[in-house]
Amino acid sequence: MTSRAIAVLALLAVVSITFAQADTDAVMRDLRSRDAGVRNAASEKAVEIGAPMVTPLLALYGVGTSLAESVAEKTLMKIVAKASAPGSEQLGAAVAAALGKGIESGATGLVRCEACKLAGMLGMDECVPPLRLAIGDDVTYAAALSALTQIPGHVAALGLVRSARNVPEARRPEVVRAVGARRDAFTAWVLIHPGTTRMGPAAVYEALGMIAHPTSAPTLAAGALSDDAGIRKAAVHALISLADAEQQSGGAFARRCYRRALDYATNDAQRSAALIGLAETDPTSRVKWLTMGLDNPHSRRLCEPLLGADTP
C-alpha cells in the first residue's frame, strides 16, 4: 500500500470518527429536549449507535434531575437489551467494556450502581462485589439493593442474600423483601442452606414464602415445628404462600402444604387460609374443611359464604 493510500485511509478514519462524535453530540442534545417526541427519536438513534452512547448516557444519568435520569436509564436498558440478543456478541462486548469503565470511573456512586446493574444484565459477575459494598452506604443503598434484585444469576442472588450483613437492623426487612422478589430457584437454595445468610430464621422463611419454590417445602415444614412463636408463624405463612403458588400445577403437593399449615397455624387468619386452601385442592372433602371453619368468627366470615346459604 502506498503512502498516499495510507494517508487517504487515515483521513477517512478521522472523518468517520468526527461524524460519529457529531451524531453522539446531536443525540445527547435531543435527549435533553423538553419535547417528548424529540427525546423518543433520540433514544432510538442512541440504541442504533450503541456502545459509544454508554459513557455520555451514564453522564446524563448522573445529572441529578428526574427527567434526565429516566431518559438515560430507559435508553441504556434498550442498548443492553439489544446487546444481549442472540448474535450480538460483538456489540455485547463493546457495551460491556463501556460499562466497565463506568463502574471504575462513574462520577457518583449512583452512576456506578447503574453501570453495575446494566453490566450484571450482560452477565458480568464482577459487578456484584461493588454493589454489596454500596448497600452499606446511605446514599447508594436503595440503588444497589434494586440492582441486585434485578440482576439475573446465582452470583447476584448470593450477593443479595449476603448483603444482609452490611445493613443496619432497621433495613433488614427491605433486604428480605428484595430477596423474596427475585423468585428464582437458586435464591431459594441459598436461603435453605445454613451459613449463607445472617437474616435470621423468621426472615429466611418470609423470603422463602415470597419466592414460593417447591424445594423449600421441607425447610418450611421443619420451621412450622419450632417452639419459637415468631419462627413458627413465619414458616406457616410461607407454607400457605407456597401452597397458593402451587395450586394450579400440583394439587396434591399444595394440599400437603395446606395440611401442615393447618396443623401448626398460629392464628385464625392462617387457619382460615389453610382450610380454604384445602377446600379448593380437595374437592371430595370440601364441605368438611369449610365446616371446620365455622367454629370462630374470623374463619366463619370467610368459610360460610363458600358453603352456601343453606348450610346451618
Cell of 145: 439493593
In this prediction, what percent of the chain has a pLDDT beyond 90?
A: 42
Judged against a pLDDT cut of 90, whether residue 61 lies above it is answered with no
> pTM for the whole thing?
0.73
Burial 38-48 (b: 16+ CB within 10 A, else e): ebbebbebbbe
> Measured at the alpha carbon of residue 282, what is the angle toward residues 277 and 286, in degrees to the nearest 5?
80
pLDDT digits (tens, 9 = 90+) for 86-145: 998 899 899 999 999 888 887 788 999 999 999 999 999 989 999 998 998 899 999 999
Burial of residue 147, with CB atoms counted within 10 A of its CB: 0-12 exposed, 13-18 middle, 19 or more buried? buried
Of the candidates 283, 223, 222, the residue with the CA atom closest to the CA atom of residue 247: 283
What's the Rg (C-alpha) of the chain?
A: 27
Which CATH code for domain 17-125? 1.25.10.10
Phi, psi of 122, rounded to the nearest 5 degrees? -95, 5
Distance spanning both ends of the chain, measured CA to CA: 100
Q: What is the DSSP-derived secondary structure letter of residue 214?
A: G
pLDDT of 24: 84
* Domain range annotation of the chain: 17-125, 212-312
